[in-house]
């Protein structure tokens, strides 16, 4: 909900590639965290 809004605000100041790579990085971190929790 607020996520797309935040992404839109951020992408006004940064290139889409930067935003996308950060998104990938955050997704990777989230997956690692979920895997740790599920152990």
Residue-level pLDDT at 3: 74
pLDDT, one tens digit per residue, over 1-37 is 577 777 777 657 778 888 788 889 989 988 988 888 8
pTM of the model: 0.46
- For the chain, the domain total comes to 1
Q: Taken in order 1, 6, 8, 24, is the CA torsion positive or negative?
A: negative
Domain that holds residue 20: 2-38
Is the separation of the CB atoms in 19 and 11 below 8 Å?
Answer: yes
């Amino acid at each position: 909900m607020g996520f797309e809004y935040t992404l839109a605000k951020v992408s006004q100041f940064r290139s889409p590639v930067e935003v996308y790579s950060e998104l990938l990085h955050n997704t990777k971190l989230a997956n690692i965290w979920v895997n740790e929790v599920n152990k």
